Structure 1
Amino acid sequence: MADPGKQLPEEVLVFIFCHLPLKDRAMAAQVCKSWAAAATCSSVWHDTSISFDDEWEGTLPPYLSTCLDHVQNLRLEFEPSGERSRRAATELLVALAGRVPGLRSLLLECCGEKRLFEAGRDVLDAVHTVCGAARELRHLDLRRLPFTLDDALVLQAARGCPELRSLFLDNNTLVGGVGPSSVLELLKACPRLRALGLHLASLSLAALEVLAAPDRSPFSFLALRCACPEDVRASPLPDEAWATVRRRHPGLEVELELEPALPAQSVSRILQPAVPVAVLRLNLSGDIVGPVLFAARHYAATLRVLEVHAAPSAGIDLALRELAVRCAGLREVHCFCVVKPFVLDAFRAHCARLRSYTLKLTREPHPWKPTLVA
């Protein structure tokens, strides 16, 4: 039988192996010398996506140790309620810590239906190790972890990752464990940071003042999730401070995600005219009409994406129509309740840049799929 590697050029093999899961890469590396060379070359591993499901058995493949030297951008998926899956993810993260040239980007994602909010200390300790050793780490995304993040991790990132450009801590958790003081330390230690995701309670007036400093590098994106009790109790940030930050960074875009835990008085404190809101996600248990009207009247120049979870009503229909008329730059609108035909007509008529929308005129089985605009 002919050597399989002779049937395809190495660059073709490399392209194929880039898209294979970890197990399949390991098997390909055992076929022949040519396939082994292609499966372990740096181009295959520079941008890597690895998934550890709960069926994962044993430790990492032996050949992977050498390949880890080439991993710079990693997306790692694991099953949080599966001990073997978490163990494999932890082992991989620890193995990556301190590699040369080392990680530039790390995104962690949990899969599966059973998410253990009380677990995950092993994984977070491994992330802590990475932050202490990966001096060139530029992007860290923890939004898809269901575990409570804490000050120790943020402070470790501040001390160990001076080149950070983006950090996302606005994850789906029941407790906000990151305090404003650690975020302030992070901003001071990472002057090139340009994108940050937080729970609202982690942001402070002092942090806005650091961002507004004259020598601050351009800051472009801030995601704020408002969902846990700490966010409800957070002190309001002055509108003047937001205006100062906006003048210092005219390209700044803010994403606001408001969850059912927020009472009406908290919503009114968060939605301030000077905040350059580009993405607004409203999933409130109380008034929705007021926030939609506020967005229409104050965020018309900045709003690009609106997502609304509400019960159908005449009030929400009228508010959405006013928003469509005022927010000509809107690119996406997703309303998860049935609306009247005049709402859909308004967005079609006034929002020329609209790329997709979820505006259902009749009730349909969930999940609702958006309509793409040609």
Structure 2
Amino acid sequence: MVQPAELPEEVLAHIFRHLPLRDRAAAARVCRAWAAAATCSSVWHNTNISCDFEREDMLLPYLSACLDHVHNLRLEFEPSKESSRRAATELLIALAGRSPGLRGLRLECRGEKPFFDAGWDVLDAVHGICQAAHALHHLDLRRLPFTLDDALVLQAARGCPELRSLFLNNGTLVGSIGPGSVLHLLEACPRLSVLGLHLASLSRTALEALAASDRAPFKLLALRCACPEDIRAPPLPNEAWEALRRRHPGLAVELELEPALPAENVTRILQSAVPVATLRLCISGDTVGPVRFAALHYAATLRVLEVRAAASADLDAALELLAARCTRLREVHCFCVVRPSVLQAFLAQCPRLRSYTLKLTREPHPWRPMLVA
């Protein structure tokens, strides 16, 4: 039998890359062979770190020898806990100073939301990353509850010309990113193909810039419509969407509509030319109308539908219509009780369906999706 100390370094590295940070640190103290394997670049290429799970006093000391090897980092922390937020901030600052080869950064907040004005320390550290990591390809800030602003977008435009994807459509209650900053970002990052925004940050000029003949293929536009600025945003013309769709036939649009949106805004946002692939409806007003609109206009593009609404016979009928027309659906999740014919319609008419949440009776929450065999 081969003893652990006799395993080749590449085998040890493959094992260590799946361990949490504290276990990697323990492995590195076993012997020289394990220490070499635990600190080799392949272990750190894709790294997940939780500032709540790891011991704060060993986070940076152990990482100091490995930061240069981190290419893609997923960092979790709890902003309402000072120790967790401080550990995340210190790690980001150290990363900005040590890892110009960083390719991807994804920040995820857990636990309670912080105070309204919290997060400046974390955002300053993200500014530092954008200033130093010139090879950054992917930046995902969707799970940050802090207010993002123009300064951050402009820093990303100046410091990260190689960006391929940028998600700014987070859960903040205030939208502080103006259309001008987004337009500057598009001009500075010609390879950007995936972008997540609040609706108010998008403009007709930006759509026209994306539709330019010299633009690289654009794949995904994720729009969140939730804050007061989104409600006041001017409508985006249907013809601008048509031009964008002709230029990028593979473009997918994700729409997330939150309760703050009045009914008239929903009508302005759901336009026939938008290639909606994912539609999440959590609106306080009429939901039946938007579901029917999706059934009539998004049959060729819709892949995921999520509805949070009160149960009704009209909603059931709209869902059955959608099942009949949007036969390429892969997921449908309705967080209210539906009649059996709704479930039967989706199972019979959507052969590509992979998961669904369609409850026929009331059950305790949270409701779990059902996977299709």
Contact 2:21 2:54 in 1 (8 A): no
Q: Which residue is 1:109 aligned to?
A: 108
Moved over 4 A (4+): none
CA distance in 2, matches of 1:231, 1:242: 18
String of CA shifts for 1:315-370, please: whole Å, max 9, x gaps.
00000000000001111000000000111111111111111111111011111111
| 1-structure distance, mates of 2:363, 2:33 | 52
Structure 1's unaligned 5+ residue stretches are: none
Query: Partner of 1:97: helix, strand, or coil?
Result: helix
Q: Describe the SS at the equivalent of 1:279.
A: strand
Q: How far apart in 1 are the matches of 2:327 and 2:204?
A: 32
Say yes or no: does 1:278 pair with 2:277: yes
- What is the match of residue 357 of structure 1? 356
Which residue is 1:79 aligned to? 78
CA 1:55–1:328: 2 relative to 1, 3 Å: closer
What's the secondary structure of 2:47's corresponding residue? strand
- CA separation in 2, counterparts of 1:361 and 1:115? 37
Match for 2:95: what amino acid?
Answer: L
- Report the alpha carbon displacement of residue 7 of structure 1 after superposing the two structures with TM: 4.2
Contact 1:54 1:82 in 2 (8 A): no
Q: Per-residue displacement from partner, 1:21-61 (whole Å, max 9, x unpaired)?
A: 22221222112111111110001000000110187433634
Please name the residue that 1:49 is paired with: 48
TM-score (norm 2): 0.97
User: Corresponding residue for 2:24?
Assistant: 25
Cα contact 1:116–1:146 (8 A) shared by 2: no
1:289 corresponding residue in structure 2: 288
TM-score (ref. length: structure 1): 0.97
| Counterpart position of 2:202 | 203
Partner of 1:329: 328
Query: What letter matches 1:342 in structure 2?
Result: S
Cross-structure match for 1:264: 263
What is the CA–CA distance in structure 2 between the aligned matches of 1:352 and 1:12, rounded to whole Å? Answer: 41
Contact 2:221–2:252 under 8 Å retained in 1: yes
Look up the match of 1:175: 174
Tell me how far apart the structure 2 counterparts of residues 180 and 193 of structure 1 sit (CA, whole Å): 16
Contact 1:284/1:309 (<8 A) preserved: yes
Mapped pair 1:254 → 2:225: no
Aligned mates of 1:75, 1:48 — CA distance in 2: 6
Tell me how far 1:114 sits from its aligned partner.
4.4
Counterpart amino acid of 1:253? Answer: A
Q: Quote the Cα distance in structure 2 between the aligned partners of 1:4 and 1:232.
A: 64
CA distance in 2, matches of 1:236, 1:185: 21
**In the aligned structure 2, how far is the partner of 1:274 from the partner of 1:224?**
15
Question: How many residue pairs were aligned?
Answer: 372
- Matching residue's letter, 1:175: V
Question: Which deviates the most, 111-120 or 222-231?
Answer: 111-120
**Coordinate RMSD, CA, aligned:** 1.5
Contact 2:100/2:134 (8 A) holds in 1? no
Matched position secondary structure for 1:60: helix
| Partner Cα distance (2:309, 2:103) in 1 | 40
The residue number in structure 2 matching 1:152 is 151
- Structure 2 residue identity aligned to 1:58: D
Give the % identical residues.
Answer: 76
